[in-house]
Amino acid sequence: MTDKFEQLKSRLARISDINASAGVMGWDMRVMMPPGGVQARGDQLGTLGGLAHEMFVDEEVGALLEELAAEFKSMPFEADESSIIRVNMRDYEKQVRIPTELVIEMAQVTAAAQQAWAEAKAKSDFSLFAPHLEKVVALELRLADALGSPSGNPYDALLDQFEPGLNYQYIDGVFSGLKKPLVELIEQIKAHADRVNDDVLKREYPEAQQIAFSKEVGAALGYDFKRGRLDKSAHPFTSPNMHDARITTRVDEHFLPSCVMAVIHEVGHGMHAQNISESLYHSGITFPGLAIAESQSRFFENIVGRSRAFWEYWYPKLQAAFPHLNDTSVDTFYRAINKSEPSLIRVEADEVTYGLHIMLRFEIENELINQRMKVANLPKEWNDRMEAYLSVTPPNDAQGVLQDIHWSGGGFGYFPDYLLGSIFASQLWEVFKKQHPDIEDEIRSGKFSTLLDWQRDHVMKHGAKFTFPELSERATGQTLSWEPYMNYLRTKYSEVYGL
């Protein structure tokens, strides 16, 4: 038994190394690579992705997994060994359905598409990106077909990739429940829009000080810069290798939250990666599904990072970095960074309207993948829905359909996990606060370790051991529910807007 497990682990270790290499190469492509490298990088990522895939779907891996599953049957569900078998088995059964050529083609096409997206966005010209997106969608359809979908909705196969076990019907159920009270809250806030002014965020904030302040906040929250680094990229992201979990941000010198809130978000992901149990290194079950991942980034970004207690501690330091803030009270600043107003850019949207940005993408993805919408019509469809849901119209595609990198990388089925993450984060916060009723006092006095310790023990250390429903059950004792999220928003925004 031990011998077979060692055989499996040595195979998983090599595959892990290749995937980790592809992770670094992907980070490099988006942060460091000169433009001339794009074609060759596509080849390299194609080869690495193809190799990792080939090595994982090897029949001997399947045979080892099957034998070990039988042998480990009586082991506790949460043990490292049984989890490594269970989760890899689940992934194996998916992966064997995907032809190697498709993996290679996907890596090549998306490498070019990401470069084209960056150029299209810079020039605000959707036509530069459209032919690449057509190819990506066609590949997604082939992928969905290969994976298969019990419900018959090909989008389910894609959703399941990013968070195993989730599907359109389940997500639509949660989102539908949330939609009505959320729209009501947005209406209430709209009626009192004049009560919050965020002009203070649009002053001059030089880049160097923004980066320095963001790094200080990240380190204080517990992000380990010895096992990570912070760089700039077009769209903030985290490269979640557990010993080298790099984060990126962007900087707008005339809108403070662009950088610092993105850093806190990515720090949430980065700490998540850095706090995965060392015993899972090389096991192939390290970084979890994206709704679990987003529960951490959104917990730190919104629930912690946009709280009054948090800024009562940090605001004096922010004033020291930007002395023009000395004329503004922490109360005004706190309400400014929580200003809620329908807007164009998802990553800069407030917590309340954010949900509608996701619901829009969730619907468009479902229609694109079900071939009820054409790529060529995307800009119009996008703009029409922005108008319908949020009463705003993008003045150009850069601020509309081109704003997110995800689709260029083949990330269909990814967006819903952001909102699911927020919903789960609120549920975690509800439980956490019951166990630590003094947490806001701690945060107010600059003590952040209780937050990370709790999340490490309840979520982070488990890596990808548990599915979203399993983890939610274990960490909160409940299944996923939108109510704690809605309660959290209602309480917070009633106070911010004096509703």
The catalytic residues are 266
Contact stretch for its own copies (CB under 8 A) within 114-122, 235-243, 368-376, 418-426: 235-243
51 contributes a contact to its own copies by CB under 8 A: yes
CA distance 10 to 2: 12
3-state secondary structure 297-315: HHHHHHHHCCCHHHHHHHH
* Closest CB to its own copies among residues 212, 320: 212
Report how far residue 254's alpha carbon sits from residue 221's, in angstroms, rounded to the nearest whole number: 25
Binding of residue 244 to its own copies (CB under 8 A): yes
Which of 2, 34, 70, 204 touches its own copies by CB under 8 A? 34
- Contact indicator for 433, 442 with CB cutoff of 8 Å: no
**What is the residue type of 410?**
G
Smallest distance from its own copies to CB 309, Å: 30
User: How many residues contact its own copies, by CB under 8 A?
Assistant: 38
Distances, alpha carbon 448 to alpha carbons 172, 420, 441, 452, 463, in Å: 35, 24, 10, 7, 22
Q: Residue holding tokens 């903030």?
A: 236
> In the block, which residue shows the tokens 């310790």?
453
Identify which of residues 14 and 458 has a Cβ nearer to its own copies in the complex: 14
Q: Name residue, tokens 């490298």.
A: 37
Q: Which of 12, 18, 271, 419 binds its own copies (CB under 8 A)?
A: 18
Confirm or reject binding of residue 36 to its own copies (CB under 8 A). Answer: yes
The amino acid at 29: M
- The whole-angstrom distance between residue 385's C-alpha and the CA centroid of its chain comes to 23
Q: Which stretch binds its own copies (CB under 8 A): 58-66, 86-94, 162-170, 219-227?
A: 219-227
Is residue 363 close enough to count as binding its own copies by CB under 8 A?
A: no
| 43 sits near its own copies (criterion: CB under 8 A) | yes
9, 227, 346, 458: residue in contact with its own copies (rule CB under 8 A): 227
21 touches its own copies by CB under 8 A = yes
Question: b or e along 286-304 (b: 16 or more beta carbons within 10 Å of the residue's beta carbon)?
Answer: bbbbbbbbbbbbbbbbbbb
Minimum distance, C-beta of residue 131 to its own copies, in the bound complex (Å): 22
Q: Is 326 exposed, middle or buried (0-12, 13-18, 19+ CB in 10 A)?
A: exposed
Interface with its own copies, residue 226, by CB under 8 A: yes
9 binds its own copies (CB under 8 A): no
For 426, the token pair is 């609120």
Instruction: Using the minimum distance from each CB to its own copies, give the nearer residue, 223 or 454.
Output: 223
Q: Which of residues 414-473 bind its own copies (CB under 8 A)?
A: none
C-beta atoms surrounding 86 within 10 Å: 20
**CB atoms near residue 364 (< 10 Å):** 19
Q: In this chain, which of 25, 201, 234, 373 binds its own copies, going by CB under 8 A?
A: 25
Q: How far is the CB of 244 from its own copies (least distance, A)?
A: 3
**Residue 147, interface with its own copies (CB under 8 A)?**
no
Report the candidate in 493, 477, 17 with the shortest Cα–Cα distance to residue 244: 17
Among 4, 5, 9, 33, binds its own copies (CB under 8 A): 33
- In this structure, the dihedral spanned by the alpha carbons of residues 313, 314, 320 and 326, taken in order and rounded to 10 degrees, is -80
Write out the residues near its own copies by the rule CB under 8 A. 13-14, 17-18, 20-21, 24-25, 28, 32-37, 39-41, 43-44, 46-48, 50-51, 224-229, 241-244, 246, 281-282
